[in-house]
Amino acid sequence: MEHLWSPWRFRYVSSAPPGENCLFCSKAAELPGSGNLIVHRAVHNFVILNLYPYNTGHLMVAPYEHVGTLSAAPAGTLSEMMSLTQAAERLLNGIYSPAGLNIGMNVGACAGAAVAGHLHMHVVPRWKGDANFMTVIGETRVSPEELGVTYLKIRTAFESL
């Protein structure tokens, strides 16, 4: 078996000291239009662009309530989360025509959750050949679209729902 090491990633996933403000709670509390990358607000959840996207259009659906597991989340929150994930799938397919999507969540730090205490669903568009050596070897992500442009496209699509 061969291993690829990306030590830069450890700095990212371990950078928030215990007890520091939760990223999702902080973002949810910000005013609309304040540059917080929130593209849609619903009753129990919001949809936000990932500041460090795996690919263009990388969204996250997160509850306003600080809850870390599916079993701790209220049924209404989970139901709305899935409806928003379904909407995100539809909108991303319409805007970007990806070949596929990764949809899922990492629950807990050892499962890969960078924000382990606040449940969130990732929706990541995928294209054939979108994975390359740049991230692992060059410590660089290549995004073909500026985050602000992505924000406007997706926010406009959510507004038209």
Could you give the 3-state DSSP secondary structure of residue 127? coil
Place of tokens 């936000």: 48
Q: Report the percentage of the chain scoring pLDDT > 90.
A: 61
Task: State how far the alpha carbon of 150 is from the alpha carbons of 24, 106, 144, 153, 155, in Å.
Answer: 20, 24, 10, 5, 8
List pLDDT tens digits, range 122-135.
999 999 877 655 55
DSSP state of 161: -
- Phi then psi for residue 19, to 5 deg, are 90, -10
Q: How far apart are CA 117 and CA 107, in angstroms?
A: 8
CA distances from 80 to 47, 77, 109, 119 (A): 11, 5, 24, 13
Asked whether the beta carbons of 95 and 159 are under 8 A apart, the reply is: no
pLDDT value at position 65? 96
Confidence of residue 18 (pLDDT cuts 50, 70, 90): very low
Q: Which domains does the chain have, with CATH numbers?
A: 23-159 (3.30.428.10)
Residues with catalytic roles? 120
For 59-75, how does the pLDDT look when each residue is reduced to its tens digit (9 = 90+)? 999 999 999 999 999 99
Residue 7 has a pLDDT of 61
Report residue 30: phi and psi, to 5°. -70, 155
